[in-house]
Structure 1
Amino acid sequence: MSVMTMWTNMSIMKCLIIIFSLFATMSAWRDEVTYERTPLGDSVDVASMKILKESYQVAVDKNVIASPLGVLTLLAMYSAGAEGENREEILSLVGTPEYKQLEDNYGNLTERFTAMDDSYLVLANKIYVSNKYTLKETFSDVASRSYKSVVETVNFAEKKKTAAQINEWAAEKTKGHISSPISEDTIDAGAALAMFNVIFFQGHWHVPFDAKETEEKDFFVDETTTVKKPMMKLRRALFYHEDYDLGARMVELPYKETGFRMVIVLPDEKNGLPAVVEKLAQRGILEDVFNLSPSRQKIEFEMPKFDIKSKHNLNAILPKVGVSHMFTRGAGGVVRETAVRVASAFQQAFVKVDEEGATAGAFTGLIKVPLSTRYKPPPPIEFKVDHPFMFAILHEDIVLFTGTYTH
């Protein structure tokens, strides 16, 4: 869930961006689907990896989950009311030369994701505007038309009531999984408006991991320190890739829901995660994702169950990726009465991965090779995710969520 609260230039205000995302279960096989790589996917990719790098570097706890797409969507919506350097910085981050293309791109993404089955994906935007201010028509039109945002008028001075309204909306959109993300202390009585984004995703494996095979095993926090983690097991032919320059191997774990997949990036070295994150921030992850190909042998795959909660101070992160003016300079195209600025922003996200899945589905997309009576299958590839790694969740070529797991 994401909240952006904007004030007048004369006011001290608190602005929040909170993005809650929930993941549960995974699938373990891909249909024979060919994904198309697009310029929009590339721009989201690079911006996402930059945000992940900065989130990872400033985090005390290196278990990190982030939804860069949620941040980028709100920045795109905010830019509808911003001009000059405010807008130029956002365009630069997303790699888009002009504003109209930015609106088209993120408007189309919003259209795509809001049209999906809400049993597994919910994306929603909402603007709460103070009863003391009025949205400019152009900003309001773009927010509702391109970003499907609902606008509601509130009295921010009634902090308890406003917090309850926001929490009710969050609970509805996340099916009760996130019921009280906002406290009345979060609400600033002088706020002009608050922009919210909620992303909720629950995917299922085609072939769930067998919980009976999960067992406690060593996970290397560093080269010499280990902790016990519940390791899930799977023996399948998976989409697989080795990148010697990156210093990592990766596999794809598709969801049953069409087009969704998780990519696990395992550094070759036990202490190699920082270098991998740094390199991906420079070039993105899609080049490797589109180099994934069917393994001709089964993979002995092991991965820990994990549950990560993160809070990110976007005031510290966004300037490091080139977006800073919105915190200091007013945008005149948001409300009629005055220019507004973003005072503070943060993101909160949650991810859970375990063995669970939907009812065992069709074991589709099997990779088939000719066999003869003398054929002997090659030995399986061992892929043990037993040290710090990175992961990304995509829909086709769009990075939705990304994170790191270290302990």
Structure 2
Amino acid sequence: MKDILFYFVVIAYVTAGYGENSAPDQCQALSPLSQCPMDIPSMKLLKKLYEESPDKNVIISPIGVFTLLSLYASGSEKQSRDEVMQLLGFNYFTQLLDCYSGLSEMFSFMNQKYIILANKVLVSDKYTINDGFSYTTSLYKSEVDKKNFENQTAAAEAINKWSSEKTNGIINEPVSASDIDADMAVALFNVIFLKDKWHVPFSVANTKDQDFYVDRSTVVKRPMMHLKHPLYYYDDKNMGAKMVMLPYKGTGFRMVIVLPNEMDGLPQVLEKFSETRLMDSVNKMRPQGDKVYLYMPKFEFKTKIELNDILPKVGVTSIFEQGSSGVVKERTVSVSKALQQTFIKVDEEGSTAGAFTGFLFMPTSLENPKSEPIPFKAHHPFLYVILQNDFVLFAGTYTH
């Protein structure tokens, strides 16, 4: 019997509103936690999700998945821990622990008007949490409670109440009683809720139905938003894509749109960024002396991910197969289930993005000289990421 359930549910909410008419400096100095190499593993995870999903509109919250993986790794050993470290790009576990415990602490001090990131650990009333694992949960600013999992309905209601409180009611039923195993020993959860406004909003009056090329032979009509502004921009010839940045009003929050040069180039761009740091390209973006003419679709969708299927494809297998002795005192546990549910809404005012995850267990630059306006028409499949400074909160693809 596998005794620990990893339940990943991520919901993202971002709303852009009316801000000043000049873009803030988004090429900021790297944060003290900038050595957390989150972008390559994020793109590896997104690439596999994109490849496995029949619906190519997908979104994931890497920070939610990685936070719980690193927390679980603190109570595991040998191959389980090594696989997590390899995926997340660390040679030493202390570096991994410092990174994700530091991120949890950093977000705990952020203005909850814009961002909420919270962790929760539920331990069966039949078991006792290991002292070392208990200490790690405190580093991760995790709430820890006892729960009788035999009452599956009550356990699900308690989890859903916590999620609803953290996401302002946006995610109020991430789990059902059928997700709860009566013999479960531990459950790990993460929720991330982002609500912000565009620094420079789109005008609703300018949104028109226009052609969107799903592929070279399929064209659909989609509501395309239009913005004319001196946005940060970069033409990455090595990656075969152009990039534009949309800042939010909250300091350091921004969405980056990565548009492949080729209409069918999204798989190749995902492949390249799964091997080369996305932030290297993001940090080359510069404000344009003249305006960028941006066209992009407004969209809203949900993704529910079976991470039991995705994580083994990026090298994390042993957490589902090998028992870990450092989580509870009485016995070893392994992961029985890993899920993530995500939601995003992008419109003229901004984006809404949030995530509830559960384990049921740049230098300042001068503006360029005046030049011709740059057209950026996202009318074929593209990649997007939502960042807080250099940390990947959400990553997704829009294809139809």
Regarding TM over 0.5, the answer is yes
Q: Does residue 86 of the first structure (1) align with residue 76 of the second (2)? A: no
- Which of 159, 167, 192 is the matching residue for 2:160? 167
Q: Structure 2 CA distance, aligned partners of 1:25 and 1:387?
A: 23
- Which of 68, 72, 81 is the matching residue for 1:74? 68
Q: Structure 1 CA distance, aligned partners of 2:268 and 2:8?
A: 28
Shift of 1:295: 1.4
Q: Does residue 26 of the first structure (1) align with residue 11 of the second (2)? A: no
Q: Structure 1 CA distance, aligned partners of 2:2 and 2:228?
A: 56
Q: Structure 2 CA distance, aligned partners of 1:120 and 1:32?
A: 18
In the TM superposition, what whole-angstrom CA distance separates every residue of 1:65-108 from its partner, at most 9, and x where no partner exists? 00111111001110111111111111111111111111111111
SS at match of 2:59: strand
Q: Structure 1 CA distance, aligned partners of 2:179 and 2:95?
A: 34
Aligned to 2:41: 47
- Which of 297, 301, 306 is the matching residue for 2:294? 301
Aligned to 1:121: 115
Shift of 1:155: 0.6
Q: Is the 8 A contact 1:204 1:255 kept in 2?
A: yes
Q: Is the 8 A contact 1:76 1:90 kept in 2?
A: yes
Shift of 1:357: 5.5
Distance verdict in 2 for CA 1:157–1:268, change over 3 Å? same
SS at match of 1:53: helix
Distance verdict in 2 for CA 1:98–1:366, change over 3 Å? closer
Shift of 1:349: 0.7
Q: Does residue 341 of the first structure (1) align with residue 334 of the second (2)? A: yes
Q: Does residue 184 of the first structure (1) align with residue 156 of the second (2)? A: no
Q: Structure 1 CA distance, aligned partners of 2:272 and 2:367?
A: 34
Q: Is the 8 A contact 1:127 1:150 kept in 2?
A: yes
Aligned to 1:111: 105
Q: Structure 1 CA distance, aligned partners of 2:285 and 2:365?
A: 16
Aligned-residue RMSD, C-alpha: 2.0
Q: Is the 8 A contact 2:11 2:343 kept in 1?
A: yes
Q: Structure 2 CA distance, aligned partners of 1:368 and 1:195?
A: 46
Aligned counterparts, 1:219-298, within 5 A: 219-298=212-291
Shift of 1:22: 1.9
Distance verdict in 2 for CA 1:34–1:301, change over 3 Å? closer
1:119 counterpart letter in structure 2: K
Aligned to 1:202: 195
Q: Is the 8 A contact 1:76 1:103 kept in 2?
A: yes
SS at match of 1:128: strand
Q: Structure 2 CA distance, aligned partners of 1:330 and 1:315?
A: 16
Q: Structure 2 CA distance, aligned partners of 1:50 and 1:357?
A: 26
Q: Structure 2 CA distance, aligned partners of 1:278 and 1:402?
A: 14
Aligned to 1:132: 126
Aligned to 1:397: 390
Shift of 1:367: 7.7
> Which runs of 5 or more structure 2 residues have no equivalent in the other structure?
352-363
Aligned to 1:16: 6
Distance verdict in 2 for CA 1:51–1:285, change over 3 Å? same
Q: Structure 1 CA distance, aligned partners of 2:269 and 2:54?
A: 18
SS at match of 1:150: strand
Q: Is the 8 A contact 2:9 2:340 kept in 1?
A: yes
Q: Is the 8 A contact 1:231 1:304 kept in 2?
A: yes
In the TM superposition, what whole-angstrom CA distance separates every residue of 1:283-306 from its partner, at most 9, and x where no partner exists? 131111011011122111111001
Shift of 1:33: 4.4
Q: Structure 2 CA distance, aligned partners of 1:169 and 1:49?
A: 29
Q: Does residue 327 of the first structure (1) align with residue 320 of the second (2)? A: yes
Q: Is the 8 A contact 1:159 1:185 kept in 2?
A: yes
Q: Structure 2 CA distance, aligned partners of 1:351 and 1:271?
A: 23
Q: Is the 8 A contact 2:198 2:249 kept in 1?
A: yes
Q: Is the 8 A contact 1:42 1:284 kept in 2?
A: no
Shift of 1:41: 4.9
2:207 counterpart letter in structure 1: T
2:276 counterpart letter in structure 1: R
Shift of 1:125: 0.4
Q: Structure 1 CA distance, aligned partners of 2:265 and 2:114?
A: 34
Q: Structure 2 CA distance, aligned partners of 1:285 and 1:390?
A: 11
> Which runs of 5 or more structure 1 residues have no equivalent in the other structure?
1-10, 359-364, 371-376
Q: Structure 1 CA distance, aligned partners of 2:103 and 2:304?
A: 25
Shift of 1:380: 1.4
1:343 counterpart letter in structure 2: S
Q: Structure 2 CA distance, aligned partners of 1:191 and 1:357?
A: 40
1:120 counterpart letter in structure 2: Y
User: What TM-score comes out, normalization by structure 1 length?
Assistant: 0.90
1:17 counterpart letter in structure 2: Y
Between structures 1 and 2, the one with greater strand share: 2
Q: Does residue 102 of the first structure (1) align with residue 96 of the second (2)? A: yes
1:406 counterpart letter in structure 2: T
Aligned to 1:380: 373
